Amino acid sequence: MVSAMAGPELKQSAKLVLPGGKEATLPVVVGTEDEHAIDIKSLRTETGYITLDSGYMNTGSTTSAITYLDGEQGILRYRGYSIEDLAEHSDFVETSYLLINGKLPTKDERVKFSTMLTRHSLIHEDMHQFFAGYPPTSHPMAVLSAMVTSMSAYYPDSLDRNSAIDLHITRLLSKVRTIAAFAYKKSIGQPLMYPKNSLKYCANFLHMMFAVPSEDYEVSPILEKALNQLLILHADHEQNCSTSTVRMVGSSGANLYASIASGILALWGPLHGGANQAVIEMLEEIKLAGGDYKKFIDDVKNKRDNRRLMGFGHRVYKNFDPRAKILKKMCDEVLAHLGVKDPLLDLAKGMEEIALRDDYFISKKLYPNVDFYSGIIYRALGIPTNMFTVMFALGRLPGWIAHWKEMVESPDTKIGRPRQIYTGEQLRKFTPIEQR
């Protein structure tokens, strides 16, 4: 395990002139990639002012040594390694180790980590009853989040901040995979398949998803590799909505399972991880209506019914999303390998081509994001649409864990508690009900 990098440099300062001429001198923080921030910690105490930044468009909530992202250049790196390099040469377990521990594992560390993940793959037998209690129509994200919260009931020592964190982390990484597959089996009424210790992380997941007790099931190496790559691409993305939620909830002292469950719920929304499901639903809707995607793009541009081109646009990427680039190539390769011809892929490509040439999308810097092609690959792997966001959660898990760990280990962490500017009524007298 390596210690976090040296803290950010504090050499320069910025001067803020407030109405009335009062001035505040604020330190400037510079990161290792020359990113600059104004540290406003002392602003309110010194001046009485706070900052207002709806949607946190310009607000850094923390310093972090986990992921570097440059939205203008389309750069994404985990612990200094480029996403392209990791997707090509690493696998999901190794990348998880990297994110959580800050360095690539040695051979011994790698074996130990994998063995621990294999040993902790079973969930408590009593938890099986939960699956039985959900209606078959339940969205698997509802089941997943509830089950992850429930893990804190099965491992009550997690409520103690001094309990063995590494063990909780291993349990989570291993068991979320089992829970995700069980949620799917339950939704289609098939018997739950127990994990198989002879299989690696991703192969084991595919086994639990697609094997049935009555038949032999051999995991396809193509599927296993594709899944590893997909999960690596999703593994972290610095302070996005769900990760910030994990950090916010964790900052109150809530246990790891509760904090991660809150991240799963934040991810569910269609503007975040839920977009991968929304992309396929959008493409299916267009196909069902006759395939006129040009009309759909026109509707989006005219904001008809508040339509958006799902899988396009990103808060941070304003050039291209490096994950989408890898996924587009991977999509062609995986479908060709599997011999799958998906009309939704042709639709998606047609829409991308038009959008990338259209002024509306160019002027707003809207490009395909990670969710535009990932759903088509998941479909080809046989994963049903309502499981797509669960797959995103499975991939993002090591990132959430790494951020939670970085937060609890930092001496600078304080409970997350933003302020506000009140815009409601001023003091008024209570009116008894008869007089209203």
Helices (H) and strands (E) in the chain, counts: 18, 6
Written as six digits, the tokens of 422 are: 């009140």
Nearer to ligand CMC, 130 or 312 (CB): 312
Nearer to ligand CMC, 102 or 313 (CB): 313
Q: CA 276 to CA 308: how far, in whole Å?
A: 13
Q: Which stretch binds ligand CMC (CB under 6 A): 138-146, 270-278, 325-333, 393-401?
A: 270-278
- Could you tell me the smallest distance in angstroms from the CB atom of residue 387 to ligand CMC? 17
Q: Which of the following is catalytic: 91, 236, 321, 371?
A: 371
Which residues in the 360-399 window bind ligand CMC by CB under 6 A?
A: 364, 366, 369-371
Letters for 312-351 (x = contact with ligand CMC by CB under 6 A, - = none) are: xxxx------------------------------------
Residue 28, beta-bridge partner list: 38
Nearer to ligand CMC, 208 or 280 (CB): 280
The CA–CA distances, whole Å, from 249 to 208, 261, 366 equal: 31, 10, 31
Q: Is 175 in the site for ligand CMC (CB under 6 A)?
A: no
Residue selected from 206, 275, 282, 286 as contacting ligand CMC according to rule CB under 6 A? 275
Nearest to 180 by CA among 387, 398, 379: 387
DSSP string, 159-189: GSTTS-HHHHHHHHHHHHHHHHHHHHHHHHT
Q: Is 234 in the site for ligand CMC (CB under 6 A)?
A: no
Residue selected from 168, 171, 175, 272 as contacting ligand CMC according to rule CB under 6 A? 272
Question: Phi, psi (5° rounding) for residue 300?
Answer: -65, -45
Residues 145, 264 contacting (CB under 8 angstroms)? yes
Q: Is 309 in the site for ligand CMC (CB under 6 A)?
A: yes
Residues 189, 131 contacting (CB under 8 angstroms)? no
Q: Tell me, yes or no, if 371 is annotated catalytic.
A: yes
Q: Which stretch binds ligand CMC (CB under 6 A): 17-25, 193-201, 305-313, 342-350?
A: 305-313
Q: Is 273 in the site for ligand CMC (CB under 6 A)?
A: yes
- Could you tell me the smallest distance in angstroms from the CB atom of residue 313 to ligand CMC? 2
> Residue 160, Cβ neighbours under 10 Å: how many?
9
Nearest to 244 by CA among 228, 230, 265, 221: 265
Nearest to 145 by CA among 160, 130, 132: 130
Q: Tell me, yes or no, if 314 is annotated catalytic.
A: yes
Nearer to ligand CMC, 158 or 369 (CB): 369
* Strand ranges, E, within 31-187: 36-38, 67-70, 75-78, 81-82
Q: Which stretch binds ligand CMC (CB under 6 A): 63-71, 106-114, 265-273, 401-409?
A: 265-273
| AA letter at 336 | A
The residues annotated with a catalytic role in the active site are: 314, 371
In the complex, the residues that contact ligand CMC under the rule CB under 6 A are 55, 237, 240, 271-273, 275, 300, 308-315, 364, 366, 369-371
